[in-house]
Amino acid sequence: MITVSVPGKIHLMGEHAVVYGTPALLAAINKRMSISIESAKKTEIITLESKKYVSYALEQVKKYLHMETLPPMRITITSNIPAGFHLGSSAAAAVGIVAAVIYFIKKIWNPNLINQIAYEVEKKQHGNPSGGDNTIVTMGGMIWFRKELEFLKSIWQLDIAIPKSLNHFVLVNTGKPKETTGEMVAFVRIKVNKNPEKMKRLFLENEEQVKKIAVAIKEENETMLLNALKQGEQTLEKMGVVGKTIIPCIRAIEASGGAVKILGGGGKKEGVGFLLCYHKKKKILENITKKFGYPIENIVLGEAGVRLDRKE
């Protein structure tokens, strides 16, 4: 039996805009998915994830290995990355399945190759992904990611970590969005086609905040970090990916001295999944989110990427 684990992820900033060539700053988080594979008489998939998605990932591995069929195996997937909450569940599944199956069959461990194949799997889920999600859960830590062209991506794994003085991030659970990430990406594309100049301005404004957040973390500048998170959130709201029911909570947190932004695809009708919140006074934050009925979860940023946990 072999077991591979993969972290979830968050965008510190850059979601949606990253699809159109601007950078994103992403971090791996301390929620993980585990994929175990063992020999079996027939292939069996045990998971709460989409079995169709798992099967598609297996097809991509088979295609890469130039095999007509894969050997029978029992694939067991367990996870504490909630699906549909924009924390990288599908990216973790793609990376984990690809990594586990290739190692199980060929004893090859090549993160760059894993990432490349997982990106093709992610296209099935999201249509036009940037490739950032699969890259951060593969590499871990924090990365600066920019998709220049379909075949050209700029990826820098940052040699910095969230300093203790800025270690005040938590997740706020607003509920599972009605829309998938793929649907939200398609929604933004419609807006780009209708009003390309306006959307381009928003993407460039978002890029400025991505840069400021990176500098703020490097220089331990809390004021810059708070302002960049707030201004970046404003660009996301103007893109239309932040549901109106969530905005009062965001404004209340900002008014109390914090900053908060959506993660990933966002949502329009009801919840937007998790919000990434920065606040030094957790009790004040808890009082605010309690009024809106949103629970808080602690989070650690910069966790290890895809990992081979067991090989026998």
CB 140 within 8 A of CB 304: yes
Do 178 and 273 sit in the same domain of this protein? yes
pLDDT values of the chain reduced to their tens digit, one per residue, 312 residues: 999 999 999 999 999 999 999 999 999 999 999 999 999 999 999 988 788 999 999 999 999 999 999 999 999 999 999 988 889 999 999 999 999 999 999 999 999 999 999 999 998 776 667 788 999 999 999 999 998 887 888 888 898 889 999 999 999 999 999 998 888 989 999 999 999 999 999 999 999 999 999 999 999 999 999 999 999 999 999 999 999 999 999 999 999 999 999 998 899 988 899 999 999 999 999 999 999 999 999 999 999 999 999 887
For the chain, the domain total comes to 2
Do 18 and 122 sit in the same domain of this protein? yes
Do 168 and 135 sit in the same domain of this protein? no
Do 136 and 46 sit in the same domain of this protein? yes
Do 22 and 74 sit in the same domain of this protein? yes
Do 233 and 293 sit in the same domain of this protein? yes
Do 181 and 151 sit in the same domain of this protein? no
Strands 44-46 and 73-79: parallel
Do 64 and 203 sit in the same domain of this protein? no
Residue 141 belongs to domain spanning: 2-161+302-311
Do 154 and 173 sit in the same domain of this protein? no
Do 151 and 13 sit in the same domain of this protein? yes
Do 243 and 257 sit in the same domain of this protein? yes
Do 235 and 249 sit in the same domain of this protein? yes
In CATH, what number is assigned to the domain containing residue 184? 3.30.70.890
